[in-house]
Structures are given as structure tokens and as C-alpha cells.
Amino acid sequence: MESWGGQSALLVFLTLCTVMSLYGCRHFYALWRSEEKRRKRQATILDAAEAKYFYYEAEEDTLTLSPATAAMFGIAEKINEYSTLNRNTMAHEERIRLKNLDAMAAEGSDGKELRIFRRDVGAPGIFRVVSRTFSDESGRAELIMGVLLDKTAAAANEAQAAAMAQTDDLTHIYNSAAVRGLIRDRLAAYDGKELAAFAIVNIDGFKDINNKLGHQIGDKVLLAVASTLKEILRSNDYVGRLGGDEFCVYFTKIPNADLMPSICERINKQVTKHAANENIDATVTVSIGCTVVKVKDDFKALYGRADQALYHAKENGRNGYCVEQ
């Protein structure tokens, strides 16, 4: 296909857009306004089927998308009378789609990050807009053109790194810093309207298990306790490893504080059962100290009451619990 300035000019333009070094685009803009060559330029740009480009022409009120962009949104490559589309009569899914198009093709869109559900692959993606607005002598926008850069993989890597920073390497539950931070946030917002509780779960005789059976068995015991806590508790509860053989649980939205003894007892039984199923050559038990959250509690006060309850539980023979209300 014949192209404006040849294929090399197109490559220069695309490179300049991507790195936001758009000084050379003024020359492109001047040529763009030449009606004689305009259609060939459009065809050349939009022929890059894998590139996610767009441009909005204010005078014609037309939004034009490259084939890849149109396929991603699941719409036509050209939308006429774009600004007059009645958003209020659209279905919710259509309004969300148009909201992303509006954000993409607006003045000042450069640098925005958009979460777009990709109709071409049936999955969401994260895209950054790199755009430029060209105005006439009066300052009125005539042309907005840009490219969508796929940042989905980078965003996934960042999310994975953030999750790893919060996760205990062995048990894959929250580590000490993460769970303490989450609980502090909950305490700061706690108003007492919904009951909450906090428990320390400590493995009985864990030092002896490590010394007699070895650290590999000790790790299996830690995993058994963590797995049991994750299986028993709800998705809105927080489970973390405070360090060594000590775990903690923050229970949110408890219907009744009288339920805590039965929950603690269930943890006691399930830990022993889970460890037995892992063929650990020792009877694994835990002691639990539990307390109900109070308004204006900070982590230190909450932990102190639960630790005192744990002391009483161990004093009464271990493999048990004590609930302080």
C-alpha cells in the first residue's frame, strides 16, 4: 500500500508517540490537514492491525479506531456523531465501554491508565494512554490522537510482588508485618457496632518437635496449623504468622461473642486431625488465647489481653483455649 512519506515515516511517528517525544508530530499535523493525502495516511496508520491507535476529529465529531482497538472494545472502527451519543439510554455494559472511550479520547488523556475489558480475549487489561491534542489558532482542539500501551503484564507483576511482600514464605499466609498492619487499620476504624475478636494460636511443645523430629517435620507442623486456620476461617477474617510457632487471627463481624469458645474448640480439634492426616509422628496440639475487641483498642492492648488469655490456656494443661471478654 502507498503510504504517507513511506513506511519509514510511519515508523518514526509511532516511535515518537510511544516515547511521548512528539515534537515531530507538528509536521505530521500540518500534512494531516491536507485533504488530498489524508485518506492514504489514515489507511496507512490503521493498517497496523496489531497497534492500538485512535484519533478523534472534533469538526466531524468522529472517533476512529485501529482494527486492534476496535476488536478490543468490540465496536466498529468508526463512530460518527460521537459526542451526541445518548449515554443515558445505554445498558450498563455499554456505558462502561463508552466511559473508557471518553477517557481515552479526551483532552488531557495523556498518561491515564484505564482498566478495559477486552472483548477480543474475554479478559480485563490495563492500558496507559499516550496521546497528543492538536489545536487551531484559537486554541480549540481539532484533533486528539494517541496509542494504548498494554501494561497488563507489568501490573500483574507489581501485584504479585506486593502480595509476596505481605506473605510468609513458608505458610503463605500473612506475615507478621502485614497482619499487624491490617489489624491496626481495622482497630483504627472500629466503632463497636459489629463485634470482632482476636486470638493468638500457639503450637504446644513446638521446640521439642523440632529438636526430636527435625526442622522438616517442624515445617510440616507449621503448614498444618496454617492450613487448618485458612480452612476454618471466613474470607473476611485475617490469618497471619506472628513468628516462630505463633499465629494470630482477627475475626470480623462476629454475630455473638458466645460463639468464640466453640470456634476455638473447633480449631483445637482440626489442627490435631490435620496433622495426623499429614502422617506427622507426633500429636500436634495448639493453645489459644482469645479476646473480644474493644473500642479504642490498639494492637498492643489487644495483643496483651490475648496473650494473657493464652497464658491461662497453657496453665490449664494446653490443647485448650481461654476466651477473655
**Per-residue pLDDT band at 291 (split at 50, 70, 90):** very high
Residues above pLDDT 70, as percent of the chain: 84
Give the pLDDT band of residue 92 (cuts 50, 70, 90): confident
Pair 247, 226: CB distance under 8 Å: yes
Domain that holds residue 67: 6-156
Query: Lowest-pLDDT range, 46-55, 142-151, 218-227, 279-288?
Result: 46-55
Judge if 98 and 224 occupy the same domain. no
Q: Are residues 284 and 197 in the same domain?
A: yes
pLDDT at 122: 86
pLDDT for residue 22 is more than 50? no
Reported as half-sphere exposure (CB side, CA atoms, 13 A), residue 90 has a value of: 12
| pLDDT of res. 107 | 86
- What phi, psi does 131 have (nearest 5°)? -140, 165
Q: Which position has the higher pLDDT, 276 or 11? A: 276
Grid cell, residue 155, equals 501490573
Instruction: Pull the grid cell for residue 42.
Output: 489514515
- Weakest mean pLDDT among 10-24, 51-65, 121-135, 228-242: 10-24
Instruction: Provide the whole-model pTM.
Output: 0.57
CATH number of the domain at 252, please.
3.30.70.270
Of 132, 156, 180, the residue that ends a domain is 156
pLDDT attached to residue 207: 92
| Mean pLDDT value across the chain | 85
Compute the average pLDDT of residues 61-76. 91
SS (H, E, C) 20-37: CCCCCHHHHHHHHCCHHH
| Rounded distance between C-alpha atoms, residue 77 and residue 73, angstroms | 10
Q: Which three cell numbers stand for residue 301?
A: 492492648
Q: Quick one: 300 and 254 in the same domain?
A: yes
Residue 303 within a domain = yes
**pLDDT higher than 90, residue 159:** no
Does 202 lie in the same domain as 173? Answer: yes
Overall domain count for the chain? 2
Q: Are residues 47 and 91 in the same domain?
A: yes
